[in-house]
Structure 1
Amino acid sequence: MSNTLIKRLRALETPCVSDALDRLNIKGQCAGIMPLDNRFRLAGPAFTVKYVPADEHGRSVGDFIDDVAHGAVPVIDNGARLDATVWGDLMTTIASQRELGGTVIDGVCRDLDRALELDYPLFTQGRWMRTGKDRVRIEGIQVPVSIGGIIVNPGDLLLGDINGLVALPADRAEEIIEASEMIADAEESIRNEILAGSTLRDARARAGYHQLQTRR
């Protein structure tokens, strides 16, 4: 995935991307996955990890972090589990040191204070202190995972901000970003017209606002 494309994605907001996903009939809005601080933003390609409950096959912790490339986003499927964490202080410390793009978890994390100190973006279903050690094991790395009801594949693009998280399939990322930029430009035009004295109704009509997200 080109750095230029990721830079263009980073300049967008998730509501515009969500509307573009609707316009293109692509499911990519990850329900219930939110930033643990409203200042957190992330954008980058997914490095996926799937956890399952520990059983007779053993248990494991997050040493996979050593294999995540600079700028990539660890995307962790813990089955929406809220009673055992899969990310904490040490993971945040090394992820920040390696300049990863942020972390996404379908589940919870702990040690939020370290993420706030390092300004490292965490997008999860919440936080809780109970460790996942002896409770979970890694079933797969760089495999399809489920995040907020959306299937995310390795290399798919993620964008997260104060409004939540969206996932862009890698093979359609450029198309989605182009549609998002068109929608963002239309909304900026409407905003400028309103500030110049137009009514909302007229400004929206001129920009075709109500059809911007309509499926094509």
Structure 2
Amino acid sequence: MTADATLLAQFAALDTATVSDSLESCGLPPGQGGLRPMWGRPEVVGFAATVELEPLLGDHAGAHIITGAVAEAGADDVLVIANGGRTDVSSWGGILSVGAATRSIRGVITDGACRDVAQARELGFPVFARAQVPVTARGRLRQKSSGAPVPLGEVTVVPGDVVMADEGGVVVVPRARAAEVLRAAQRLSAREAEIEAEVRAGIPLPQAMRDARLAGEES
């Protein structure tokens, strides 16, 4: 297993809530809500492949949005699409899901709306978005950039960052600090597992959930 694959597998063993807490403990922005799975309860972890969209103000949109990014992304990648949180027009659709699934891309997170969710569900392709809407992007959106840093809510996503999404939300881990955040998250996960085991065994909740213990200040 490569170092990249090992890193993603280790993050995949965690959840977004734990990683969000660990990001904050490392002085980084926490996770965010509002980007929901559009079907089922998928969990996605991968390296960010980025696209930014913008309103089409003229008559020519150029190449169909996102197709180039899909063609270039690979099996360790998650597509991250910046569209300013717009929910009145789709920024992801069924044929894009087919193309992404064919390339074994891990999923898509779009800061906007999507459509053709049934098609994504049939493919088993994870789609996280702010809403569903049937309105096409044709004549309404164009691609501003691909492979550049993009905004996702309050966070800037850089290509290659580790991104995670599950039913709890989305987190973005800067690639340069991924090992540091991972170690913090693994320590926190172990502490929380111990606390849960004690509660299930009958230890009073206030005793098990001591602030100092949760903060990692007790050995």
TM-score (norm 2): 0.91
Which aligned pairs between 1:146-161 and structure 2 lie closer than 5 A? 146-161=151-166
Q: Residue in 1 aligned with 2:115?
A: 110
* Preserved contact between residue 17 and residue 177 of structure 1 (Cα < 8 Å): yes
Distance 1:147 1:4, change over 3 A: same
Instruction: Measure how far apart 1:46 and its partner are.
Output: 0.3
Give runs of aligned pairs for residues 49-198 of structure 1, distance below 5 A. 49-56=51-58, 58-59=60-61, 60-64=64-68, 65-198=70-203
Offset of residue 91 of structure 1:
0.7
Counterpart AA for 1:183: L
Q: Secondary structure at the match of 2:210?
A: helix
Shift of 1:73: 0.7
Query: 8 Å contact 1:104–1:124 — kept in the other structure?
Result: yes
Residue deviations 1:179-202 (CA, integer Å, cap 9, x gap): 111111000000111122211111
Distance 2:59 2:161 in 1: 30
1:47 aligned partner = 49
Match of 2:9 among 1, 7, 28: 7
Q: Confirm or deny: 8 A CA contact 2:80 2:108 kept in the other structure.
A: yes
User: Does 78-87 or 128-137 show the bigger shift?
Assistant: 78-87
Q: Which runs of no fewer than 5 residues in structure 1 stay unpaired? A: none
Contact kept, 8 Å, 2:37 with 2:127, in 1: the verdict is yes
1:13 and 1:58 map into 2 onto residues whose CA distance is 42
Residues matched between the structures, number:
212
Distance in 2 between residues matched to 1:206 and 1:33, nearest whole Å? 30
Task: Choose from 28, 34, 37 the match for 2:39.
Answer: 37
Kindly tell me: are residues 168 and 206 of structure 1, through their superposed partners in 2, closer, same or farther at Cα, counting changes over 3 Å? closer
Instruction: Please list every run of 5 or more consecutive structure 2 residues that lacks an aligned counterpart in the other structure.
Output: none
Question: 4+ residue stretches of structure 1 with deviation over 4 A?
Answer: none
Higher RCO (C-alpha under 8 Å, 6+ residues apart): 1
Residue 201 to residue 124, structure 1, CA distance change in 2 (3 Å): same
- SS of 1:107's partner is strand
| Cα distance, 1:14 vs structure 2 | 0.7
Quote how far apart the aligned CAs of 1:139 are. Answer: 0.9
Percent identity over paired residues:
31
For the aligned residue pairs, the C-alpha RMSD in angstroms reads 1.8
CA drift at 1:116: 1.2
Paired amino acid for 2:65: V
